[in-house]
Amino acid sequence: MYIQILYKQLNIEDIIKTEVELPLSRKAIVNLLYTENWLMDKISLELKSFDISIQQFNVLRILNGQKGKPANLSTIQERMVSKMSNTTRLVDKLIAKGYVERVICKSNRRKVEITITEEGKNFLGKINPIMQSFEDRITASLSKEELIMLNELLNKLRNIDYNH
């Protein structure tokens, strides 16, 4: 598996314009942080016309993935890509938009059961193909093999936790 570079690349050193050569570890870290920001900007722009934030969209997709089965707050938090501390208020926003419902759990009244509404499903149905197309476009500069490799490298990077 090779990475072919067919055109001039704007690499991270050119962007942050550092005078001295960065150590490889820092370069990779800065590049990851920078690229995530770049990506978030693109996603926000794409979602802007739908009046929903990335976080809200993410939660909606988690609930949709539950296939009818309600989720409680801690389940949502576990599965969220970025764990913000206040899932309660995030869900509040989705309720205000009519996309989700919240009821107190009968078996354990400390818990709440959160489900996506029909309106929420319709909304996702509209937005999903648009996001799918966006995701394909934004990753188009990488081949299938390169995307797989990127996934593996990111997985492996995080394994420091379990490998230390």
- The residue among 60, 62, 12 whose CA lies nearest residue 36 is 12
Window of 45-53, 76-84, 93-101, 114-122 that interacts with its own copies by CB under 8 A: 76-84
- The residue among 25, 32, 88 whose CA lies nearest residue 55 is 88
Please, how many CA atoms are within 13 Å of residue 40, restricted to the half-sphere of its CB?
12
Cα–Cα distance for residue pair 58/77, rounded to 1 Å: 11
30 is a site residue for DNA (CB under 7 A): no
Which CB atom, from 84 or from 150, has the smaller least distance to DNA?
84
Q: Which of 89, 106, 110, 158 binds its own copies (CB under 8 A)?
A: 158
- The residue among 44, 56, 146 whose CA lies nearest residue 94 is 56
Query: Residue 29 has which token pair?
Result: 């870290």
Which CB atom, from 92 or from 152, has the smaller least distance to DNA?
92
163, 20 contact by CB (below 8 A): no
79 is a site residue for DNA (CB under 7 A): no
Site residues for its own copies, 27-56, by CB under 8 A, read 27-40, 43
Which residues sit at the interface with DNA, rule CB under 7 A? 44, 53, 55, 72-74, 83-91, 93, 102, 108-112
Which residues sit at the interface with its own copies, rule CB under 8 A? 1-3, 5, 7-12, 15-20, 23-40, 43, 65, 67, 78-79, 81-83, 132, 135-142, 144, 146-163
